[in-house]
Each structure stands twice: as C-alpha cells, then as structure tokens.
Amino acid sequence: MLPGAKIGHAGTLDPDATGVLVICVGKATKISSFLMEGRKEYSGTGCLGVTTDSQDATGEVLEERPVDVAEDAVRAAVTDFVGEVEQIPPMYSAVKVDGQRLYRLARKGVEVEREPRRVNVYSFDVDGFELPRFRFVLECSKGTYVRTLLHDLGEQLGCGGHLAQLTRTRQGPFRLEEAVPWEDLLSPDGEKLVRDRWVGPDRALSFLPARPLPVTAVPCKTGDMLPATEGDPERGSLVRLTAPNGEVRGVGRVTDGGVRVLNLLPASGEFGRGRRAS
C-alpha cells in the first residue's frame, strides 16, 4: 500500500476489539509514543455471571454464577471504578515480566505474579441493560485494561463477569467516524484513502497543552532545558512545543527545572511525507 514507507502505530487493540487505530507514516513514527498519551474512549458490552481466563469472550470459561443483581446496583458499582484505579494486568496481555510476554506464559498454562498498575478512568457509564449483559461507555488513560475493569466489576457484584465486546471510539483527537475501515485500506483505492486521511502533527498533538518556544531557543536540540514559565502545567506533563507562528515543532516534558525537549520535528515545509501523523 505504501511501499518503502516506515510505518508504526500509536497503541494496539485486543484481537477481538474494533475501532480507532492510529497509524503513523514516515517521520511521524517519531511521535507515536506521544500520541499514545491521548485519552481513549470506548463503547462496549459487559456480560455478568461468567468469568474467563482472558477476562473477555475469547477465553476459556472458568466459572459461571447466577446473576441476581439489580440494574441500579450495576450503575452504582461502576462509579467505584472512576478516578485513579489500581489494576493487575491480565495474564493474556503484552506486559513483560522478567523479559517474557505474559500472554506467551499464559498459553503455556503458566501464571506469574504481576505488579499492580495505576491508571485513570475519567468516566464509566452504563447506557443499557439486557441482563446478564449491559452496555457501557468509558473514557480512560493509556494502559487501562477495559476487560480487567469488567472482570473486577463482576467480582465486586459477586457474580463475576467479562468483557463481551469492545469498540474504541476515540484516541486523542481521532474519532471513529473519521477512520478508514480495514477492508477499504486493502482495496485498490487503499493508498489514496490513506493519503486523503493523513493529518499533520499540529492536529495529531492538539490534545497536549501548547508551550511556546522562546525565540532564543529556535532552533534548539533534543535534550535542551527550556526555562520554566508561570503557564507550565504540572510536573511530568507532556507539552507540544510551538514555534512563533504556532506550528508544532516538538514535544517536551515539564520538570522541576523547566521543560525538557524530548523530540523535535522539522518545519512543515521540510516534513514531507512524514508530516502526516495518521
């Protein structure tokens, strides 16, 4: 489809999940890790009463329990999973333990201890019931295992549960209605569709707060420390570095001493094919 082009992505989807997958081409692959920082929105279906080894519908059933839960109880329970949430990554995941992917160990029937991780769930709402199934929408940070949320919710309700279906409807500024279906990408018009949907780093990084580059720091280089300003966000935050004309020229991270330059992008006129970020 794009012979010879360097191609990457900004966050995987589980095998049975559908929805937004951000693809980076050319020089835009240099910002793929930053695009992963964008908030993600999902819609999906949970199923109560059945737990599986993968925490979704693809796994083997471990236990079945009766579902004697009122709709109001489900709606109340999901609120306990909003905010900063501690999750233990599922065995069927790409997380590495001692250099080995967990899913590879799980396929061998091996289970190992996993360190809990903190993620943020910004919203989690139930929008329909056909018990034991229910529909939900949520917004979360990177690294959130939605199937683990559904598994943990089922345990809290006392009946168990798993993720039955999941669609990623947004990642950062990219929404499902803008996406190109996979089968269309594989069609004879696939390359044209890709080129028509390419966007530049200005929009791709628009979810990050802007941090103007001081005129004296243009050009600057990766690793430089920019002086702190009153408008800087909290320590650890990523910012998009903008030139005097407003164009995104890189990404930095706020530290105690200012903003550390993590990545620099060419001016738009020099970005060529790589200026398209997805």
pLDDT digits (tens, 9 = 90+) for 244-263: 888 999 999 999 989 999 99
Res. 221: pLDDT tops 90: no
pLDDT band at 216 (very low <50, low <70, confident <90, very high): low
For residue 268, the domain's CATH number is: 2.30.130.10
Would residue 2 count as lying in a domain? no
Would residue 25 count as lying in a domain? yes
**Residue 31 is part of which domain span?**
7-37+175-275
Q: What is the 3-state secondary structure (H, E, C) of the chain?
A: CCCCCCEEECCCCCCCCEECCCEEEHHHHHHHHHHCCCCEEEEEEEEECEEECCCECCCCEEEECCCCCCHHHHHHHHHHHCEEEEECCCCCCCCEECCEEHHHHHHCCCCCCCCCEEEEEEEEEEEEEECCEEEEEEEECCCCCHHHHHHHHHHHHCCCEEEEEEEEEEECCEEHHHCCCHHHHCCCCHHHHHHHHCCCHHHHCCCCCEEECCHHHCCCCCCCEEECCCCCCCCCCEEEEECCCCCEEEEEEEECCEEEEEEECCCHHHHHHHHCCC
Res. 226: pLDDT tops 60: yes
Residue 135 and residue 201 in one domain: no
Q: What is the mean pLDDT of residues 225-246?
A: 91
Residue 181 and residue 87 in one domain: no
Boundary (domain end) residue, out of 171, 204, 225: 171
Boundary (domain end) residue, out of 171, 203, 226: 171
Tell me which of 14, 56, 152, 232 is the catalytic residue.
14
In angstroms, the CA 190 to CA 187 distance is 5
Residue 114 and residue 234 in one domain: no
pTM assigned to the model: 0.88
Q: Please write the tens of the pLDDT for every residue from 183-211.
A: 888 888 888 888 888 888 899 999 999 99
Would residue 192 count as lying in a domain? yes
Would residue 1 count as lying in a domain? no
Res. 58: pLDDT tops 70: yes
Boundary (domain end) residue, out of 171, 201, 229: 171
Would residue 26 count as lying in a domain? yes
The domain tally of the chain equals: 2
Residue 45 and residue 164 in one domain: yes
Q: Please write the tens of the pLDDT for every residue from 80-92.
A: 999 999 999 888 8
Q: Specify whether 14 is catalytic.
A: yes
Res. 102: pLDDT tops 80: yes
Residue tagged 């692959």 (tokens) = 29
Lowest mean pLDDT among 49-58, 129-138, 184-193: 184-193
Q: What type of residue is 126? A: V
In angstroms, the CA 107 to CA 96 distance is 14
Residue 141 and residue 224 in one domain: no
Residue 212 and residue 263 in one domain: yes
The torsion defined by the Cα of 267, 264, 96 and 171, in degrees rounded to 10, comes to -50
